[in-house]
Amino acid sequence: MKLFDSHCHLDDAVFEKDIAKVYHRMDEADVVKAMTVGTDRKSSQKTVALADARKHLYAAVGIHPHNAENSTASDLDILRNLAANPTVKAWGEIGLDFNRMYSPVKSQEICLHEQIEIAGKLKLPIIFHERDSHGRLLEILETRKNKIAGGVIHCFSGNQQELKRYLNMGFYIGITGILTIKGRGAFLRELAVSIPAEQILIETDAPYLTPAPQKNKTRRNEPAFVRSVLVKLALIRKEDPEILADVLWNNTCRLFKVGIQNSEC
Ligand SMILES: [Zn+2]
Ligand SMILES: [Zn+2]
């Protein structure tokens, strides 16, 4: 079995002390590849450095909606230059988060529009973050989908109707460990059975959202635990985990355009 953690934050300070062990546990869990995702200038610089230093680890650069207010045009220039590094396979995470409102709506939207433009010109797929935007992200994507070179709605938290509209635009849906959580994951378990397998990615969003059963032992999530998301997903979809893993692996490689010219993917 080969697994791809399509979304994690290995630049987070909580991984500084034992990253070698984290990588080792990835190998043991057959998590062969991972995408480490930036959230501002500094974290994007760090994700690229990490991906540069390890085979099968890729980077995304971008400004998270939480950081929209404090990011400048020169930050975007730096990210644009960083994206020239061959380990950068996506732009993100970008989007709208009206739940915590760390940045005002207006700055979030300006920051999102600018980054859709840049990613489009660079032909990079986009990793979208959406929380409680009440259809606004969908509205924006539906008017701009011609500019977007594919993308994933990571940590999907919307409803059935929203899901359908994202799927119709051809986006992938990122499923996190929330799927494994008793009460909190009920909505996601209900929706996850209706998504075509060819449009699903699995992710940890590590160090956040630790899945069950690992969450009983450790607070910090890590890429190795994406295996628990796969197992749960296969169970609720009544599919063979090996076959499903294969489909999800291919989806992730297709979106991020990795390993297509050779047999490793
Ligand atoms: Zn996110
Ligand atoms: Zn994230």
* Domain 3-256, CATH homologous superfamily name and number: Metal-dependent hydrolases (3.20.20.140)
Sequence-distant (6+) residues with CB within 8 A of 179 are 185, 188, 189, 192, 211, 229, 232, 233, 236
CA of 64 to the centre of ligand 1 (A): 8
Q: What is the 38 CA–ligand 2 centroid distance (Å)?
A: 8
- How much is the pLDDT for 260? 63
Which one of the ligands is nearest to 60 CA?
Answer: 2
Q: Using the predicted structure, report yes or no on whether residue 261 has a pLDDT greater than 80.
A: no
Q: How far is the CA of 102 from the centre of ligand 2 (A)?
A: 15
**Structural domain boundaries of the chain?**
3-256
Q: Which ligand is nearest to the CA of 10?
A: 2
Position 263 confidence tier, pLDDT thresholds 50, 70, 90: very low
pLDDT of residue 259: 80
What DSSP element (H or E) covers 102? none
Cα 235 to middle of ligand 1, angstroms:
25
* In contact, 226 and 3? CB cutoff 8 Å: yes
What's the gap in Å between 94 CA and the centre of ligand 2? 9
Nearest ligand to the C-alpha atom of residue 11: 2
**Nearest alpha-carbon partner for 112 in 136, 88, 132:** 136
pLDDT for the residue numbered 7: 98
Asked whether residue 86 carries a pLDDT value surpassing 60, the answer given is yes
The CA 155 to ligand 1 mean position distance, Å, reads 7
Question: Does the pLDDT value for residue 265 go beyond 60?
Answer: no
Residue 262 has pLDDT above 90, yes or no: no
98-122 residue pLDDT tens: 999 999 999 999 999 999 999 999 9
